[in-house]
Amino acid sequence: MAAYDAVVIGAGHNGLASAIHLAAQGWSVAVIEGNEEPGGAVKTRELTLPGFRHDFAAMNLSMFAGSPFFAAYKDELIAQGLGFVPAKHCFASVFRDGTHLGVSTDLGETAGAIAAISPEDAAAWRKLFAEFGSDAPHIFGLLGSPMPSLAAAKVVWKAWREKGSSWLYDTARMLLASPRDFLDARFRNDKVKAMMSAWGLHLDFAPDVAGGALFPYLESMANQAFGMVIGQGGADTIIKAMTGLLKAKGGELMLGTPVERVETTNGTATGVKLADGRVITARKAVISNAHPKLLFGGLMAADPAREAFDRGIEKFRAGPGTMMIHLAMDGLPDWRAGEALKDYAYVHVAPDLAMMSRVYSEAMGGLLPAEPALVVGQPTALDPSRAPDGKHVLWVQVRVLPAEIRGDAAGIIAGTDWDEVKDAYADRVLDILETYAPGTRSKVLGRAVFSPIDLERENPNLIGGDNLSGSHHLDQNFLFRPVAGYSRYKTPVKSLYLCGASTWPGAGTGAGSGFMLAKMLAGKH
């Protein structure tokens, strides 16, 4: 029977961050992963044709690059081969009239493009960006603190001392506001609003959903300030570096080793039993990077003393589903809105707020949206190493979709089983892309389509294709993620802890929950 100080279930980036920090503090650690490959949703594979490397799910690594975890282990991760590719031209939106609007790291360029359609909004953009410079440390400090915690309270106290009560009230209002309300209060032009609001659909915030203003604000301003980064050679650069660093610090990584159940004794987690019958003992902590529904709905024995908590986990809602379409290309799309779009990391095909509201309503009603929102990633515009010379890959994320299909909003696709309809729906997506970039279909050399159900099969944490591991609406965020009273990574089972996107601060590649949990366990937070 092997024994460690901590056993981590799941080799996603949060689980790895937790394991690395604990190992650095002298803990013996084992990370146990059921799949043959680490990384969770952060993987890069040749999904279409040989030589074409596609980021399976996550592509944007800006949150990781700006994270406290990366700041703490930057030199060691780089020594393990971690590499980033920066994007000067970060994101843009295309519109029905054949125009576009985008954000680059050059404030003059961004503001100039906005000024061409609305001088008033260009001034508003500059004002918001100037405020962001002094606001960001407080906002990111809050997002980087356990919830609740003395550290979070200190962030609020410092913000009050520096910015005053009115700033706290304004920030609280933003945290509660919908994207539309936040943007209507600051901008006049519909294109500016659409460009920013598209970020809300990366989570599960349609324009009128309360609590959705923060992400469009942060992404827009952070991209203006810092740019965007993707992984050199693929998003898996962070996973390769993290697993290398874990081993260098004495940690063990066990791949292709499913956990059958968490072992408990007198209400305390003491280790895990593997599917092959082996038992791995944990002297101090069992850390689960698995979705809490998978943990408490399968890996944990039922316990009447845990009834209220288990009921809360059962009610923890998934966000909407996602489809991923990976294309091997003979060339980048010829965007109708101009050649300049070939330089952008992301192109959003979400031309107006009415369309975003409609697609969300249709998807949440179980309908295949007639016009889904698309996030078109162009990684080879930045990193040619991901494809053979002169060739490209496209990363197309289709947002938002139903996990279970009740019908088709367009009345064309008859099936209700994702395995039956995914190719037909992918064709709809390419038809939409063709309207904004004529000739795109003729450049496709190969494609791989992953429906919401395919994503869940690949990674069970992505329930129903929800790449957020739980809706981020206000009743499931901050103090309520994943269950009220358990936002600090503890569970009712002593020595059993949660991390990952289902816990605060939620989805993304920032490794926040894993790092914060490890610091708490090691007595450093």
| Domain containing residue 184 | 106-223
Q: Which pTM value belongs to this model? A: 0.96
Which run of H or E residues covers position 287?
strand 279-288
Residue 93 lies in a domain: no
Helical H runs in 213-328? Answer: 214-226, 237-248, 292-294, 307-315
Domain boundary among 223, 251, 280: 223
Together in a domain, 213 and 244: no
Residue 128 lies in a domain: yes
State which amino acid sits at residue 262. V
Together in a domain, 293 and 278: yes
Together in a domain, 181 and 275: no
Q: Give me the CATH number covering residue 304.
A: 3.50.50.60
Tokens of 332: 């980048």
Count of structural domains, the chain? 3
Together in a domain, 190 and 280: no
Residue 335 lies in a domain: yes
Question: Nearest Cα to 178, choosing from 203, 198, 205?
Answer: 205
Q: How many CA atoms lie within 13 A of 30 on its CB side?
A: 21
HEC profile for 204-226? CCCCCCCCCCHHHHHHHHHHHHH
Residue 434 lies in a domain: yes
Together in a domain, 404 and 447: yes
List Cα–Cα distances, 131 to 118, 240, 511, in angstroms. 20, 37, 27
Residue 371 lies in a domain: yes
Residue 99 lies in a domain: no
Alpha-carbon distance of 439 to 108, in angstroms, equals 32
- pLDDT tens track, the chain, 525 positions: 799 999 999 999 999 999 999 999 999 999 999 999 999 999 999 999 999 999 999 999 999 999 999 999 999 999 999 999 999 999 999 999 999 999 999 999 999 999 999 999 999 999 999 999 999 999 999 999 999 999 999 999 999 999 999 999 999 999 999 999 999 999 999 999 999 999 999 999 999 999 999 999 999 999 999 999 999 999 999 999 999 999 999 999 999 999 999 999 999 999 999 999 999 999 999 999 999 999 999 999 999 999 999 999 999 999 999 999 999 999 999 999 999 999 999 999 999 999 999 999 999 999 999 999 999 999 999 999 999 999 999 999 999 999 999 999 999 999 999 999 999 999 999 999 999 999 999 999 999 999 999 999 999 999 999 999 999 999 999 999 999 999 999 999 999 999 999 999 999 999 999 999 999 999 854
Together in a domain, 184 and 282: no
Together in a domain, 120 and 215: yes
Domain boundary among 179, 204, 223: 223
Together in a domain, 296 and 392: no
Alpha-carbon distance of 468 to 481, in angstroms, equals 12
DSSP for residue 369: P
Angle at 490 between CA 487 and CA 496, to 5 degrees: 150
3-class SS of residue 75? helix
* Tally of residues, the chain: 525
Do 448 and 332 meet the contact criterion of CB atoms below 8 Å apart?
no
Domain boundary among 157, 189, 223: 223
Helical H runs in 98-149? Answer: 107-115, 119-143
Q: How many CA atoms lie within 13 A of 315 on its CB side?
A: 12
Do 516 and 510 meet the contact criterion of CB atoms below 8 Å apart?
no
What's the CA dihedral at 357, 354, 215, 380 to 10 degrees?
Answer: 100
Residues 6+ apart with CB under 8 A from 18: 6, 8, 287, 289, 499, 514, 515, 517, 518
